[in-house]
Chain A
Amino acid sequence: DTAVSQTPKYLVTQMGNDKSIKCEQNLGHDTMYWYKQDSKKFLKIMFSYNNKELIINETVPNRFSPKSPDKAHLNLHINSLELGDSAVYFCASSQESGNTIYFGEGSWLTVV
């Protein structure tokens, strides 16, 4: 069983489209995250939720909207996609903030 699973793994879409990435964790963790990794492998946190409550919201365009229907799921919706949104997006979870973080395999988004 995959601990943190995210779908889709690959996504190619045109500028201006709206897309969603789904994430689920079966570890029973109470904290979930979205990270963005650019082509130079630099990792930047976007959002963090604890028990469905938003606790970290970094400087991210409001075209990005996370949604946590329950503490096992954290989805990411992106409106009006731009070329600069092309990156790998990682979902992750941990048991409380500050502990070991478990990452999904990533969703490779390409905007053309």
Chain B
Amino acid sequence: GDSVTQMEGPVTLSEEAFLTINCTYTATGYPSLFWYVQYPGEGLQLLLKATKADDKGSNKGFEATYRKETTSFHLEKGSVQVSDSAVYFCALSDRTGGFKTIFGAGTRLFVKA
């Protein structure tokens, strides 16, 4: 079945450091890929998405590129801020999976001032 694997956290960075959170997926079809972010005490919210190969999703300085050849959708940001401290979830939705959204286990990010 479909699955999403993302790097274990927590990830701790200093402010203005470069961020990469790895995400790889397994799917039988051609899924849409998402990154969601959960700030403390809140629900998840969409950060960015990509619906086909080579698409790049971007929002709030975060980027991720849909790489079909490596089945990856790594999240990057050039310069993190303290306010980026949150839990980040990679997810996929696949037509052949009945469009059920599959979430990764989440990666907690701490950014120190």
Q: A residues engaging B (CB < 8 A)?
A: 4, 40-43, 45, 48, 56, 90, 92, 96-106
Kindly list chain B residues whose C-beta atoms are within 8 Å of the C-beta of A103.
43-45
Output the residue of A42, A43, A97 with the most chain B CB within 10 A: A43
Q: Is the CB of B42 within 8 A of A106?
A: yes
Some 25 contacts from A to B, beta carbons below 8 A apart, are A4-B43, A40-B105, A41-B38, A41-B87, A41-B105, A42-B106, A43-B44, A43-B89, A43-B103, A43-B106, A45-B101, A48-B100, A56-B98, A90-B44, A92-B44, A96-B99, A97-B101, A98-B100, A98-B101, A100-B34, A100-B46, A102-B45, A104-B43, A105-B42, A106-B43
Q: Is the CB of B106 within 8 A of A101?
A: no
Q: Is the CB of B32 within 8 A of A98?
A: yes
Given contacts A41-B106, A97-B100, A105-B41, 9 further A-B contacts (CB under 8 A): A42-B106, A43-B44, A98-B93, A98-B100, A99-B93, A100-B34, A101-B44, A105-B43, A106-B41
Q: B residues engaging A (CB < 8 A)?
A: 32, 34, 36, 38, 41-46, 49, 87, 89, 93-95, 98-101, 103, 105-106, 108
Closest residue on chain B to residue A104 by CB atoms: B43
Distance in angstroms between the alpha carbons of A48 and B100 in the assembled complex = 9
